[in-house]
Amino acid sequence: MTATKKTTPVVTASLVPEHRRMCCVFRYFGRFSVEVEQYTQATMRESCEAYTGGVWDYYELSNGGFYMAPNGAETYSVSRTNYFEGELSAEAVGIMTTLAGLMITWGRYEVDMLGLRYESLIDYARSHAEWSLIRAALD
């Protein structure tokens, strides 16, 4: 008898094209869209002193997840209230801030859909090259 190794499917991210951006956040977060987006961007402002706003890119995940990432710089210096300080890529800081925005909104409303979106993004984040930094920034 041969043991079969169970493989976890690789989660991939796809940039949302410009013509689909308007309804994209609502599609993933429903009536909580505005709050998730506000908390995500508030986390960015609190974490990155040099951040002054700008356009964000949206990414859909193959497992049903979603995240947004700032598109102004390649990397961001991050300083969090948990004493984390480090340099993260735009993608990693986007993942971190979207996770934080989801955590805050989920904690406020305790809606299963938000928890599922959080778990989908965590599944993607765990395979990211900067996962240890993302995790440390959130702890």
Q: What are the tens digits of pLDDT across the range 17-66?
A: 999 998 999 999 999 999 999 999 999 999 999 999 999 999 999 999 99
Torsion of CA 133, 61, 32, 18, to 10 degrees: 110
Phi, psi torsion values for 67, nearest 5 degrees: -150, 165
- What is this structure's pTM? 0.93
Of the candidates 81, 77, 114, the one whose C-alpha atom is nearest the C-alpha of residue 99 is 114
Q: What are the tens digits of pLDDT across the range 109-136?
A: 999 999 999 999 999 999 999 999 999 9
Residue 63 three-state SS: coil
> Which domains does the chain possess?
27-138 (3.30.70.3580)
